[in-house]
Amino acid sequence: MARWRDRRRQRAVVKTQVAKNKKQPGVDQVTGGKIPKSFVFARGKLPGPLKQLELDLRKLMLPYTALKLKEKKRNNLKDFLNVAGPMGVTHFLMISNPKSIPYLRVARTPQGPTLTFQIKEYALAADIAKSQPKYRCTPELFKNSPLIVLSGFGGGGQHLKLTTIMFQNIFPAIDINSVKLSSCQRIVLLNYNAEERLIDFRHYSIRLQPVGVSKRIRRIVQTHQVPDLRNLQDVSEFLTKAGYGSESEGDDEAATVSLPTDVDRVNKASNKSAVRLQEIGPRLTLRLVKVEEGLCSGNVIFDEFDTSSVYSVEKETDREAAEDSEKETSEDEPADSAED
């Protein structure tokens, strides 16, 4: 019957729509390495806010992701894998909500390891936009991929090392010699809180403002708009009335840099500019729960909550220290890791 045949054919379809006119490069022109691309999708049914979070994450991963990825209910992981191969997709970010606990899984496609994070708290980009008086988010911000900075991940534990490497490789590499400063417009910060074992995930937009220039003068140079002088008697009033610099002029020296090249009309080379971060995009608090060897399959080599396992956090650092100091097999471990 026609209907039955159609249904069978529909099963294996995963529609993806990438920007029609441009073909995304597979290899970075500058660095010569492969550009990592990602798919962000949901597994199972998600409630409203989580769906919005998925869209926010997709926007975050632009430009090297499928923005309008459409998935059907019957698509399973194999279908995504089949599509990912020819398109050169290297990472999957999967959001799921089993038993009303949101999880985020970051996996490397062909056979790669899977890191499962439990999302303890999250804030959507729309909420952050409403909470700020002057929210600035243009689509141009998303034409280049963000920079990434990880902090606090150095202290011990293979799982932290794996997390750093995983996140470092989600975004393409930057070639220092040839990168344009004006193309670094977003930044993702990951901070590891060692006491609570939580990872804070933040997403900011970067703006450079020249230091020592009043707001009015800067605005004239930037926008080339003639200011309104009708209430003033003299041009000197215009210059001195400018509020003596912006409110946050008194920043520490740490936040100012001297630029190596011109960035735009106002920020010129070897002049001091202040780096201003404004938060856009979602805010997440994650806890690493599980690391599996395969793509959502394979051995579990790290399990947060399983205290009997060898690979839990506290025991690991003790164990490694003991092992390295004595170079013997440690005494106090159970024989097997947890196997599902």
Partner 1 sequence: MGKKRAVGADEPTTTSPLDLKTLIREHSLFFDQLVELIPARFFLPNSSSDKPWFPGLSKSQKKNVKAQTRENILKSRRDRLDPTRPTSTLDLLKKSMDEERDSSSDEEDDEDEAVEEEEEEEEKEVVKAQSMALSTDERPVTYEELRERLRRRIEELSAGRNTRPESKLKQERKKEMKNKKKVKVQTKRNQENNKEKEDTSAGNTGKRKRDDGNDANISKNNKKKNKVEEPTDITYGQVRIDGKENKKRKKKLCKEKELERAKRLEEVKKDPEKGKKVSWKAAVSKAAGEKVHDDPKLLKQSIKREKKRQEKNKQKWRERKETVAKAKAEKQSKRSENIKERIHQKKMRKIEKREKKLMRPGFEGRNEA
Task: In whole angstroms, give the CA distance from residue 170 to residue 38.
Answer: 8
Contacts for 91 with CB less than 8 Å, ≥ 6 apart: 36, 37, 38, 39, 106, 107, 108, 109, 169, 170
Token pair recorded at residue 256? 């100012």
Q: Which is nearer to partner 1, 51 or 219 (CB)?
A: 219
Can you name the residues that pair with 38 across neighbouring β-strands? 65, 91
Tell me how far, at minimum, the Cβ of 184 lies from partner 1, in Å.
Answer: 7
The site string for partner 1 over 22-41 (x = CB under 8 A, - otherwise) reads --------xxxxx-x-----
Q: Which is nearer to partner 1, 80 or 153 (CB)?
A: 153
Tell me how far, at minimum, the Cβ of 332 lies from partner 1, in Å.
Answer: 12
Contact positions with partner 1 (CB under 8 A) in 114-173? 147-158, 161-162, 164-166, 168-169, 171-173
* φ, ψ (nearest 5 deg) of residue 277: -105, 130
Contact positions with partner 1 (CB under 8 A) in 277-306? 291, 293, 299, 301
Contacts for 122 with CB less than 8 Å, ≥ 6 apart: 49, 53, 102, 282, 283, 284, 285
b/e code 262-278 from CB counts within 10 Å (16+ = b):
ebeebbeeebebbeeee
Tell me how far, at minimum, the Cβ of 155 lies from partner 1, in Å.
Answer: 4
Figure out which of the listed residues 84, 280, 311, 338 binds partner 1, where binding follows CB under 8 A. 311
Q: Which residue has the tokens 């793509």?
A: 295
Q: Which is nearer to partner 1, 57 or 295 (CB)?
A: 295
Task: In whole angstroms, give the CA distance from residue 28 to residue 47.
Answer: 37
Q: How many residues bind partner 1 (CB under 8 A)?
A: 79
Token pair recorded at residue 336? 């097997």
For residue 244, state whether it binds partner 1 (rule: CB under 8 A): yes
Nearest one of 304, 34, 30, 10 to 170, comparing CA atoms: 34
Figure out which of the listed residues 21, 231, 236, 270 binds partner 1, where binding follows CB under 8 A. 236
Figure out which of the listed residues 82, 111, 132, 223 binds partner 1, where binding follows CB under 8 A. 111
The site string for partner 1 over 90-109 (x = CB under 8 A, - otherwise) reads x-----------------x-
Contact positions with partner 1 (CB under 8 A) in 169-228? 169, 171-177, 179, 181, 184, 194, 214
